[in-house]
Structures are given as structure tokens and as C-alpha cells.
Amino acid sequence: MRLGVLDVGSNTIHLQIMDAHPGARPTPTTNHKVELRLTEHLDKKGAITAEGGELLFQSIQDAVTHAKEFKTEEILAFATSALREAKNGKEIIDEINRRFEIDLQILTGVEEARITFLAVRRWLGWSSGKLLVLDIGGGSLEMATGIDESPDSALSLPLGAARLTRDFLSQNSITPKNLNILETHVKEVLTSKIPKTLLVHDANHFVATSKTFRTLARLGNHWYGDKPQYLEVNALVGIIPRLMDMTSAERANLPGVSNTRAQQIIAGAVVAKTSMEILGISELEICPWALREGVILKWLDWNER
């Protein structure tokens, strides 16, 4: 069966097409991605502007057309924090579903964390023991821990790289003062919001997913010769000041860093470093599967019943 997963996120509109059936590993076929950065199309009241809405509609149209070209049997569409929090998010989703005859669903932050956890468990297998999984998106940070396919504890916090960049860091000039304010904010949110079940996690396998962590692991490998499939907290101690000394254009020339990620990678690195320190993690393994794969796996499980 050919399935399309349409991820309407804070940074990108990403369609991943996979061949999949119950009991088999989903195999990527093609993908279509547009860097829209929805959070930059909000008005002062937190609603997506008319211009932002039209850009979103066009991106969805292009994704649906791409899915049809590759004979996709069903599109599993979901939206995360940008549309979830927009004042007019429901109206825009209703219009998307009407125009393009899809069923775009809002995922809560906790649902994101739980579905991503499922993908990581399936990728690593049962022998990986008790997992602690971290995922930094554009709008939020997700955490989950557990021994089974469903986590014992899952959490979502408003600590996404795009959100924090917009709120705390000027794209033209990132000063040590602004960085310190950001670091203090991230630490305060984490220490006040992480429940005891996550703080005292007793996990024995620490995992990270998605683009921000993958990019940071590549930078650790680039500068310090670390293994690109792992991210060490000690590497982040050196990565952050090196990124601070660069312009956005210079950061975009680093391996694996896109123009969008160049603007947000410092905030992402701060969240990664602070989270690892508070949770007592020295090293994270980078898992190639994340939320989109989890959506496919969950859908296959549901349809096999």
C-alpha cells in the first residue's frame, strides 16, 4: 500500500510517501517539502494572516498533486504546534479539508511525543530497554519515556527552535545577553514543568529524533570528529559559542544546515544542551524514524485490528 504522510509543521509542509503494509518496514518512495515557516505569518493577535493562509493552501495543493502523481492511495495529514496554537487554526484546517478533500487532524503535543516514541521503539526494538526520547520541533519540545511501545510518561513544552528564535534572538545580531536570557528561560521552563516521572526516569537508552538533533550531531562530527549518529552534551558546550561567532549566512554553509535551520540552530542547541543537563544525559543516539514514521505505524496497527 502506498501512503502519504503530510506533516504541516512550524517550519515546513512536508509530504513523505511510503510503501507500507502491516508487519513490514515502511519504505520511503519520494517526498515533497516546502519551507513555509508558518510562525512568521502570524498577526499581532496570533492568527495566520491572509497571505500566510494562501501560501499554506498553495503548499498543500502542491503536496496533494505530488501524492496523486505517485499514485498514493491515502494521505494521512496532521498539523502540529503552529496551526494548533493559531487563533484561526480551526478555520484554516476546515478550509484545507474542504478544498483538498483530505482529513487534516491537529495533534496535541503529548500525542506527538507518544507517536514519536512508538517510531523510536519500533526502530530500536525491545532489546534497547527503557527509552528516554527527545524531539525538538519548530514550536515545541517533546519528551517521552517508557519500557513498552506506549510511553509511561510523555510531555510537550513550548520550547521549539523557531518559537524561541522569534521570541529571544534577533536574526541580525545574537548577543551574549540575549543568549543568557534565552538559556535562563529554557532552564526555568524545564525545571518547573518536567514531572518527577521524567526527571527520575531510570532509562538506559537515550534517543533524539528529527532535524534539529540530526543537524547538531552532524556539527559535532564536523568540528570534533564525533560519531554523527550520536550527540554528546560536551560537544554542545563547544558548538554553541562557535555558532554564536558566525553570521546566519556562515552557519548556512555548515554541513547539513539549511537557511531556515541556520537561523534557528542556536536556540535548538540551547534547548538540547539544557534538556540533557537537567535529565542527566551525556549522550543521545540519533534515531532516523520520528513522527511521520510513527503516524504510518499507528495507522497500520489500527487497520490491522
CATH of the domain at 259: 3.30.420.150
Query: 124 and 205 in contact (C-beta within 8 Å)?
Result: yes
Residue 81 in domain: yes
Task: Give a yes or no: residue 295 inside a domain.
Answer: no
Is the same domain home to 89 and 139? no
Residues 98 and 116 in one domain: no
pLDDT digits 0-9 by tens, 147-175: 999 999 999 999 999 999 999 997 667 89
- The 10s digit of each residue's pLDDT in 94-140 is 999 999 999 999 999 999 999 999 999 999 999 999 999 999 999 99
C-alpha cell at 248: 546566519
Q: What is the mean pLDDT of residues 142-150?
A: 97
Do the domain assignments include residue 297?
no
Task: Report the domain count for the chain.
Answer: 2
User: What is the predicted pLDDT for the residue at 305?
Assistant: 64
Same structural domain for residues 59 and 165? no
Same domain, 277 and 134: yes
My answer on whether 76 and 135 are in the same domain is: no
pTM for this predicted structure = 0.96
CATH value at residue 30:
3.30.420.40
Q: At what angle do helices 50-69 and 89-100 cross, to 10 degrees?
A: 30
What average pLDDT does the structure give for the chain? 95
Are 122 and 77 in a shared domain? no
Alpha-carbon distance of 157 to 159, in angstroms, equals: 6
CA angle 113, 202, 160 (to 5 degrees): 30
Q: Show the domain range for 40.
A: 2-106
| H-assigned helices in the chain | 50-69, 81-85, 89-100, 109-124, 161-168, 176-193, 196-199, 210-224, 233-244, 248-252, 259-279, 291-304
Largest CA distance in the chain: 55
Q: So what's the pLDDT on residue 172?
A: 64
Using a pLDDT cut of 70, give the percent of the chain over it.
99
Q: Which residues of 38-47 are buried (b: 16+ CB within 10 A; e: fewer)?
A: bbebbeeeeb
Residue 218 and residue 71 in one domain: no
